[in-house]
A and B are shown apart, each in its own frame.
Chain A
Amino acid sequence: MIEENELKAYELRLYIAGKTARSVTALANLKKYCEEHLKGQYRIEVIDLLVQPQLAEGDQIFAIPTLVRKFPEPIRKIIGDLSNEEKVLVGLNIIPA
């Protein structure tokens, strides 16, 4: 589930565990914000830990869902269903805090 884009200024990874209501909400929220603010400059990678549990350690995942901004650095993490738009945007450094 990789959404290709040429610029890829933002590399985002969303960790979920199965298609729970919360992960679906989180993904929907994320897509919405990205389309609004980062149109064409982002790439979202969704990782289902139920399928690939070995990946949890690498990104220090302990909560589900977790959104990781892999690029640009520094790495940022946002946990929760991403329901608070402002917090997500601040967290991703899209808008200044």
Chain B
Amino acid sequence: MTKDQKKDKSKLHYLQLPKTRTGISGLDEITEGGLPKGRPTLVCGEAGCGKTLMSLEFIVRGAVEFNEPGVFMAFEEKSQELAMNVASLGFNLDKLQQEKKLRIDYVHIDRTEIEETGEYNLEGLFIRLGHAIDTIKAKRVVLDTLENLFAELTNQAILRAELRRLFQWLKDKGVTAIITGERGDGPALTRQGLEEYVSDCVILLDHRVENQISTRRLRIIKYRGSVHGTNEYPFLIDEEGISVLPITSLKLEKEVSSGRISSGIPALDNMLDGKGFFIGSSILVSGTAGTGKTSIAAYFANEACKRNEKCIYFAFEESPKQIIRNMSSINVDLQKHIDQGLLKFHASRPTLYGLEMHLVMIYKLIKTFKPQVVILDPITNLITVGSVSDVKAMLIRLIDFLQEEQITVMFTALTLNNIVNEQTDEGVSSLVDAWILVRDIEFNGERNRGMYIMKSRGMKHSNQVREFVITDKGLDLVEVYLGPEGVLTGSAREAQKLQEKTGEVLREFAVNSKDREIIRKRNVLEAEISNLKMEFESIEEELNKIHQQEELVKQVTNKTREEITNMRRGETPAKNIKNDRGK
């Protein structure tokens, strides 16, 4: 039947096994829904790794968030001690007990006052537990730490038999139980081999110190009948209890947005297709020391807050006050945004805790603050607490998480002053969507900043090197001068500009005088043209005159000839006058 179910619900396979949500942040994601309902779960680990806290949080969250009352049977600590220990986490055990949502039963076994003689069983424990469960109708039970029985009682055979019976009894009761066990020496998970009895779900907690930095980790060793994350997940105990960080989702199926957000520097936006970065993308700003990476980041944060978006600024190098003061010198008022609750600074020394812890902390803050923009400044400092590959792995996870949440992130990274390193800023350059490089350009006895976009996925971006100037009015980008001597920046550029300007004026002057010359020439020519025209006219007239004379001569000749002809024929000369004229 289970096989059939598997086939039917292959997509929702984790629904097969009913689960009880723990309410512990992150744990329910890893277990895909919580602990097996109505079954015991073993939580084991070394001393001080957080077993008691985790189990108590399971009970408290159950009572508060899921309305499932719980019984906490403590073999180690008294009720008051427990209450005191978790009061700092905001758990009010006394109140919960009064509300009958919680019952703490402290089982005190003192071998100095106990004598064993003959056969016995642990029915007393069963009755106590049963009574506690029945009075508050508990759904959750914690036994912390059951193994204390073994330390105090000598008859191991009875204990083992009774434990077996206890776990069966818990199952019959239908309560979801956590049994904690101390990790022993050697490969065994617990000193007394409790894992033999609890076969449904085993969670191992671990507390490791590497390079003097401690990290707590959690791993689900087995979870019968359920899919679960198998990795070691770092977890954090802070003022809100336990947070487990589910590492990378291996799927690359994130939603993408084609929306854009401004970088805060209009000229930089122009270089980025005129619109800025994609929403939800990751941006790396790298450069050598003192090139203004933090300023760029602060500008970006400032711009986000101006749009009424929330922003978290994780500072690993400077204190918030320092950043605020420094940024006010370039006309950026971050304090205003902090007061409005739009900007949140979180400054911590990288060495404060391990990389995973940083990640958990970042993760947690983002989950609670829900920002649209996140800034990490600088990621290079994290190297002090982990190797390059560790940092890279952490950043992959972070980028993954941020992209899933559609949060735009800007990292700053310090590059050492050589070219080889350009391509390998903690190896994240291949992960990020946009990479802006700020570098020093040393020329002509001064140091200037050049900025260019190494890459920007999915948009047409400028390939130009711009000069990046920081003034008390703010940041700006200036076109660098590309001349025969190469890239000119700073005063050299200004000088070149000046020179060009002078040249322009001179040229303009030259052009003007040439223009006038031409006009003069034209006037002369025009005058000449009119002279010639007049000459031409007189010649033409002359020519006409000749033509007319010629005509007249022709007419007169014709007439004379006619008259002569007529006269010969003996006709009277009718037109003497004409004849006279013709002479």
Contacts and interface: CB of A to CB of B under 8 A. Distances in A.
A63 interface: yes
A61 B124 contact: yes
A85 B292 CA distance: 87
A63 B127 contact: no
B interface, by DSSP: helix, strand, loop or mixed?
mixed
Contacts of B109: 60, 62
B523 to A, nearest CB: 124
Among A56, A63, A75, A90, the one with the most B-chain Cβ atoms within 10 Å of its Cβ is A63
B570 interface: no
Which of the listed residues B114, B125, B149 has the most CB atoms from chain A within 10 Å of its own CB? B114
A38 interface: no
Interface in B115-130: 115-125, 127-128, 130
A96 interface: no
B394 interface: no
B108 interface: yes
A84 B117 contact: yes
B416 to A, nearest CB: 65
B123 A91 contact: no
Contact of A80 (B117, B123, B124, B128): B117
Nearest to B73: A62
A79 B117 CA distance: 6
Contacts of B113: 74-77
Which residue, B108, B115, B122, B153, has most C-beta atoms of chain A within 10 A? Answer: B115
Interface in A31-62: 49-50, 53-54, 56-57, 60-62
B22 to A, nearest CB: 27
Contacts of A64: 120-124, 127
B107 A78 contact: no
Contacts of B533: none
B570 to A, nearest CB: 184
A82 interface: yes
Interface residues of B, number: 23
Give the most central of B107, B109, B118, B153: most A CB within 10 Å: B118
B114 A56 contact: no
Contacts of B130: 53
B128 A53 contact: yes
Contacts of B153: 63
B105 interface: yes
Given A57-B105, A64-B122, A17 B127 contact: yes
A70 interface: no
B131 interface: yes
Contact of A81 (B107, B117, B124): B117
Given A17-B123, A62-B109, A56 B116 contact: no
Interface in B259-314: none
A5 interface: no
A56 B131 contact: yes
A79 B116 contact: yes
Contacts of A84: 117-118
A79 B114 contact: yes
A63 B121 contact: yes
A82 B118 contact: yes
B124 to A, nearest CB: 4
23 contacts: A17-B127, A26-B118, A50-B127, A53-B131, A56-B128, A60-B107, A62-B125, A62-B128, A63-B121, A64-B120, A64-B127, A65-B120, A77-B113, A77-B115, A78-B116, A79-B115, A79-B117, A80-B118, A81-B120, A83-B117, A84-B117, A87-B115, A87-B117
Interface of B: 105, 107-109, 113-125, 127-128, 130-131, 149, 153
Given A77-B114, A81-B120, 19 more contacts: A17-B124, A49-B124, A50-B127, A56-B124, A57-B105, A60-B108, A62-B128, A63-B124, A64-B123, A66-B120, A74-B113, A76-B114, A80-B116, A80-B118, A81-B118, A82-B118, A83-B117, A83-B119, A84-B118
